[in-house]
Amino acid sequence: MRNFEHKGREAHAPQRNRKPAAPRAYRGGDAPEGSEHWLRPWVQLKYFTYNPAVFPRMLGAVSPDAVTGGLINVYDKNGELFGGGFWNAASRTPLRMLRHADTVLTEDDLLQALRRAVEWRRADCNLDAATNAYRVVHGDSDGLGGLIVDRYADVLSLEVSTLGVWLRLPQWLPLLHELCGTTRHVITVDEKIARMEGIDPATAPKSEPVQKVRIVENGVQFEVDFEQGHKTGFFCDQRDNRLRLSKLVQGRSLLDLCCYSGGFSIYAKLLGGAGDVTAVDLDEKAIAMAKRNANINAAGGPLRIDFVHADAFVYARQMVRNGKNFDVVLLDPPKFVLGRDEEKEEGLKKYNDLNMLGLQCVRPGGLFVTCSCSGLVTPPEFERVVVKAAQRLGRRLQILDMSGPGWDHPFLSTYPEGRYLKVLWARVFS
C-alpha cells in the first residue's frame, strides 16, 4: 500500500470483530398499471438516474421472475424502457445499469462490449506499440460494471465486484484471452464485496499458476508480483505521467514520496537522466519490489536510486527540519478519502498535511507534482487543497496542468466518481 502516517485513532485499529451486515434482499412493491405489457424480467425506477449503481431507494417494483445475477429490463417512472443491467436483490446496489437505451440489452451485447473495449486499447490507442501492460476493461466506463481487467504480458488480471460478471467469467475469459493474445489469468474479489454480492471465490475459472510476470513500458521493465502487489498488480494508470515527468528531470534531484514499486523514480533515472533520486515508501515489500525493478533496468550500469523504507509524512518532516530541498518533489499517496462526510474531511486533511510537507521540500523555482487517486475528491476540490496548503506556507504556485490516467482508463460523463486519478503539475515560485 502506498504509505501515510496514521493520525489520531489508528486507521487499522481492530473493529471489535464486527462484520458488515448482509444487505436485505430487495423486495420491491406492487406492480404498476400497464406493467403486464413490459418485457420480463423488469424493474422500475422511482426517479431518473444515469448513475450506473442504483440503490434500493431509487427502485420501485420488480417482476417476480427477476433472476439473481441475470440481466433485467429497466423501465423509467413513466413506464418507458430505459435500459438494462445486472440484477442482484441481495446487493447493496441491486441494479447495476450497463446501458441506457430503449432497446433490450442481451448477452451478445455484453460480448460486443468486451470486443469494443479491447479494440479501443489495441487498435485505436495502439498501446501495444508502447507497452504490454494496460487496462483492457474499465468497468462502468466500458459498459461492463463490476469488471476491471488489466493485461500484463501474457497474463490477464481481473478484479470482479458484481455477481453478474462473476457468473459470466467462464464464457468471457476465453474471449478475452483470444482478443488480448494472453494465456493465463489472476482473479481477485474483495472479501466484503464477495459476501454482499453472493460470490463464491472458490468457483473462479482455473488458470496456469501465476506469481510474477515481467512487463515493458516505454522501454522500461518492471516485475509485477501478483502475490505482493496491490490493485490488479501494477499502477499502469500512471504510465503517461511517468513518461511526462522523465522529460522534466534531467540533472535534477527528485524526492519521490509513496514510490510503491519505483515507477516514477526508475523512469526519471533511466529515461530522464535525473540527478540524485530518493524514493520513499512505508511498505517494506514495495521497497523490495522497487529495488528489484531498478536492478532489472541496470543493464547499462546501476541505477543509483536511494530507496528508503519510511513513512512519507515522517520522512518529509525530517527533511524540513534538516533544511533539505529538492528540485522536483512527487507525491503519489494511497486513496485517503474512503467515504463521504467525516471520512472525506479526514482524508482531505491528510492530503493537506502531506502537500504542506511536500511543498516545503521543493526549492524555489522547482517542480511540484502531486496526485490523488480518491474518486470522491473532484479535480477542483483537490486543486483547492493544494493551493490552500501553499498559501498557508506563504508560497505561490504556477499551476501548469492537471492530468489524469491514460486513455485506457476513461470515465463516464454520468459517473464523475470514475475520474479518480488527478495529477497536479506546478512550479513553486517562492
* Rounded-to-integer distance, Cα 164 and Cα 187, Å: 15
Cell of residue 357, nine digits: 510537507
End-to-end CA distance of the chain: 33
pLDDT of residue 6: 33
**What is the model's pTM?**
0.90
- Widest Cα–Cα separation across the chain: 76
- Residue 138 has φ and ψ, to the nearest 5°, of -120, 55
pLDDT at 429: 87
Beta strand 133-138 with 71-75 is: unpaired
Q: What pLDDT, on the 0 to 100 scale, is given for residue 152? A: 97
> Which residue in this structure is represented by grid cell 478475452?
176
pLDDT of 341 reads 84
Q: 282 with 332: CB under 8 angstroms?
A: no
Cis ω for the linkage preceding 56 (within 30 of 0): no
What 3-state class would DSSP assign to 62?
Answer: strand
If the chain, 430 residues long, is cut into consecutive pieces of 10 residues, what is the mean pLDDT of each piece?
35 37 69 93 95 95 96 97 97 96 97 98 97 97 97 97 98 98 96 95 93 95 84 84 98 97 97 97 94 92 94 97 97 92 91 97 97 95 97 96 97 90 94
pLDDT score at 229? 62
Per-residue model confidence (pLDDT) at position 342: 84
Rounded distance, CA 67 to CA 268, Å?
Answer: 52
8 A C-beta contact, residue 133 and residue 112:
no
Q: Tell me, what's the pLDDT at 233?
A: 66
The residues near 221 (Cβ < 8 Å, ≥ 6 apart) are 214, 215, 293, 296, 297
At residue 9, the pLDDT reads 29
Per the CB < 8 A criterion, the answer to whether 136 and 115 are in contact is no
